[in-house]
Amino acid sequence: MSLVRTGDPVEAAELIASGARLQRYAHDMQVAVRSVTIPGPWLHPGLPSPLRVTAVDRPAVDVARASLGAYPAGHVDAAQAASLAEAVALYERIIAGQTAGPLIDAVSALLIDGPTETVAGALLVTAMPAAAWWDGGPWLCNLFVAPTHQGAGIGRQLLQLMIARCAEGGYERIGLSVTDGNPAEHLYRALGFARCRSVFVIEKAG
Ligand SMILES: CC(C)(COP(=O)(O)OP(=O)(O)OC[C@H]1O[C@@H](n2cnc3c(N)ncnc32)[C@H](O)[C@@H]1OP(=O)(O)O)[C@@H](O)C(=O)NCCC(=O)NCCS
């Protein structure tokens, strides 16, 4: 199975008519780092105790287990991993740099819940190679906050941390892809991201 990403609705319709499966319709977004005013506290998020951020220093299975609650049945991205085994495979590939370029350790982070030392969220940023539609650089490959901690401003703080770390690292732009209908797009827009293209992500045999 291979993945085709095309912005051409005619090509997408032809592929689907020939038996390929539409996995998702998504919007690629970008922000120019220098266009964002970055207050000092963004580098040191004031997370509610006992939460803290660490490097991506846990095995993929710990991240995968935490992710399942954030992408429940009915979520627009639930199909990315329907079981713990699929989620482990997904995060192993991301952490190993096999999804969208190598992980940028200095920008990525895990959210850790202190008393149990469990993963409660992830900010996984990779160095996406340049392409015709992208000049190359940091790519928000995966972001989630466990449901018990959602709605408390933590996702926003993780994104602010990403932008501040990218500014510190001298990166010019950050990109991401958000599935059509995911309310997270509002958050990305609030932080300066804008759509640059829309793509059909299609699974094709062979
Ligand atoms: C997206 C996500 C990381 C946001 O984290 P969070 O900690 O819940 O978000 P925050 O509390 O920082 O919310 C920030 C803003 O986004 C809005 N928001 C977040 N999630 C929302 C949702 N599901 N529906 C509507 N608005 C939402 C909030 O209203 C808030 O806006 P405000 O600051 O103007 O009030 C989290 O909801 C999540 O893990 N979702 C499931 C996984 C996912 O979809 N990840 C993104 C993949 S592209």
Query: From ligand 1's centre to the CA of 4, what distance in Å?
Result: 28
Q: What is the dihedral of CA 100, 101, 107, 109, to 10 degrees?
A: 60
Mean pLDDT per 10-residue interval, the chain, length 206 residues: 88 95 94 95 94 97 96 91 95 95 98 95 97 94 97 97 98 97 97 96 86
Using CA positions, which residue lies closest to atom 9 of ligand 1? 155
Q: What is the pLDDT of residues 109-163, one digit of tens each?
A: 999 999 899 999 999 999 999 998 899 999 999 999 999 999 999 999 999 999 9
Using CA positions, which residue lies closest to atom 22 of ligand 1? 183
C-alpha distance from residue 57 to each of 6, 124, 170, 173, 196 (Å): 34, 12, 24, 25, 32
Query: Counting atoms of ligand 1 from 1, which one is nearest the CA of 178?
Result: 48
Strands of 118-128's sheet, edge to edge?
2-6, 194-204, 21-32, 173-179, 137-145, 118-128, 109-113, 51-54
pTM of the model: 0.94
Using CA positions, which residue lies closest to atom 47 of ligand 1? 143
Domain ranges of the chain: 26-198
Query: From ligand 1's centre to the CA of 29, what distance in Å?
Result: 16
pLDDT for res 72: 92
Quote the CA–CA distance of 172 and 164 in Å, as a whole number.
Answer: 12
CATH assignment of 26-198, among 1.10.10.10, 3.40.50.1970, 3.40.630.30, 3.40.367.20? 3.40.630.30
In this prediction, what percent of the chain has a pLDDT beyond 90?
Answer: 91
Using CA positions, which residue lies closest to atom 23 of ligand 1? 183
The single residue listed with the structure tokens 């409660």 is 120
pLDDT for res 11: 95
Query: From ligand 1's centre to the CA of 54, what distance in Å?
Result: 21
Those residues whose C-beta lies under 8 Å from the C-beta of residue 131, and which sit 6 or more positions away, are none
* Protein residues whose CB sits closer than 6 Å to any atom of ligand 1: 70-71, 77, 143-145, 150-156, 178, 182-184, 186-187
Query: Counting atoms of ligand 1 from 1, which one is nearest the CA of 146?
Result: 39
Query: From ligand 1's centre to the CA of 123, what distance in Å?
Result: 13
Query: Counting atoms of ligand 1 from 1, which one is nearest the CA of 156?
Result: 12
